[in-house]
Amino acid sequence: MLVEPAHALTDLFLGIVAVTLALRLRGLPGAHRHWRSALRWFGIAAVAGALHHGVVVRWPDLADPSWALISLMVVVAVSFLLAGTVHDVLGGSHARMFWLLRSVGIAAYLVVALSGHAGIQAILACESLTMASILVLWGLAAHRGHPRAPAMLVAIIVSGAAALTRLAGDVAGVDGTSLYHIAQIPGLLLLFVAVGGAFSRASAVDRQVAGPSALEMRGEVVVRGVDEVTDIPRLSLVSARRHA
């Protein structure tokens, strides 16, 4: 028997949804691999959470290491979210910017750890700084006309709002943790739409454009297709070439 059946089953359902969405993104050439990896790792973390709630919590000595491992998986998933954001908003040549933003959460955790408050909850709290960086980047992209930004901002806000369900307590007989698992699914679906929805409707002509379509600072234009060029103030074109 499952130790915490509601927690385990809702986490398992969340994991199945996330992994399925990651697999669906695989067939969309415009969706960068970072987004697939983010969804995949969220799915793996959720499935591991199902195992944790259903089985591992039976043994207290294993529960803490198990939860620490799941938290690490979430950190990896958030890292891929940041990597995908940097790639799409700033361009594929901004690895240093990724590591600069990624170091914010890491540095915050080091400060917390040195103050004697290290722990899993501290790790997850510091990861909220990384999510804030992602939100700021997409806000900047929306201000400057990135076509994916509005849908991405909605996905991020909905995902963040899901965390509030933990504070709601029991709703219609469903406990806060199980409700939180279910509440994360709309955010994942919106993320999938934001990343892959536009590409799933792209024409065969659009797919002939090679190279990244990401935006960089200090430029003029963004290529959206072979025959379509849209002016976007102060954003530059990452070089693209066409197949013969």
* Structure tokens that stand for 129 in this block: 């700084």
In percent, the amount of the chain with pLDDT more than 90 equals 41
32, 34, 40, 45: CA torsion to nearest 10: -160
If you search the block for the tokens 């991020």, which residue do you land on?
A: 156
**Domains of the chain by start residue, with CATH:** 5-201 (1.20.1070), 211-244 (no CATH)
Mean pLDDT across 224-230: 39
Judged against a pLDDT cut of 90, whether residue 134 lies above it is answered with yes
Q: What is the mean pLDDT of the chain?
A: 78
Q: State pLDDT tens for residues 199-216.
A: 444 433 333 333 444 444
Give the torsion sign (CA, 4, 5, 10, 16).
positive
Highest mean pLDDT among 30-34, 38-42, 177-181: 38-42
DSSP label at 163?
Answer: G
At residue 225, the pLDDT reads 40
- For residue range 149-187, what is the model confidence (pLDDT) as tens digits? 999 999 999 998 887 877 666 666 778 889 999 999 999
pLDDT for residue 27? 75
Summarised one tens digit per residue, pLDDT across range 55-100 is: 999 999 999 889 888 888 888 899 999 999 999 998 877 778 888 8
- What is the distance between the alpha carbons of residues 148 and 195, in angstroms, rounded to a whole number? 7
CB burial class (10 A; 0-12, 13-18, 19+) of residue 192?
A: buried
Is the confidence at residue 230, as pLDDT, over 50?
no
Q: How far apart are CA 209 and CA 229, in angstroms?
A: 12
> pLDDT higher for 149 or 244?
149
More confident residue, 203 or 31: 31
pLDDT score recorded for residue 99: 80
Phi, psi of 233 (to 5 degrees): -60, 135
Q: How confident is the model at residue 197 (pLDDT cuts 50, 70, 90)?
A: low
CA distance 26 to 48: 22
The strand pairing partners of 222, in sequence order, are 230
Residue 236 has pLDDT above 80, yes or no: no
- Check residue 214 and give its pLDDT: 42
Name the DSSP class of 167. Answer: G
